[in-house]
Amino acid sequence: MLARKITSTVARLRELAARLPEEHRQIADRVAAVLEECQDIAAHLEAAHLPITEPAQHARPQ
């Protein structure tokens, strides 16, 4: 979920950057690159978390 939100934010930032002056566009591009790295990290963390939490959801009631 977090990875998708970051991806959406990057897309909006890139749309905004297209309308900015070159100097600001360069800054927005650097920020987008950092956010894309964060998105990759978030995706890995979310993937690693699923196997741990999924079995608990299907546990039999005692």
In a domain, 37, yes or no: yes
**pTM for this model (two decimals):** 0.70
For the record, the structure tokens of 3 come out as 């990875």
Condensed to tens digits (0 to 9), the pLDDT of residues 24-46 reads 999 999 999 999 999 999 999 88
Of the two residues 47 and 20, the one the predictor is more confident about is 20
pLDDT of residue 19 exceeding 80: yes
Instruction: Count the domains in the chain.
Output: 1
In a domain, 34, yes or no: yes
In a domain, 48, yes or no: yes
In a domain, 62, yes or no: no
In a domain, 20, yes or no: yes
For the record, the structure tokens of 32 come out as 């987008």
The per-residue pLDDT for 9 is 96
In a domain, 46, yes or no: yes
d(CA 36, CA 14): 11
Domain range for 19: 2-57
pLDDT of residue 60 exceeding 80: no
43 touches 3 (CB < 8 A): yes
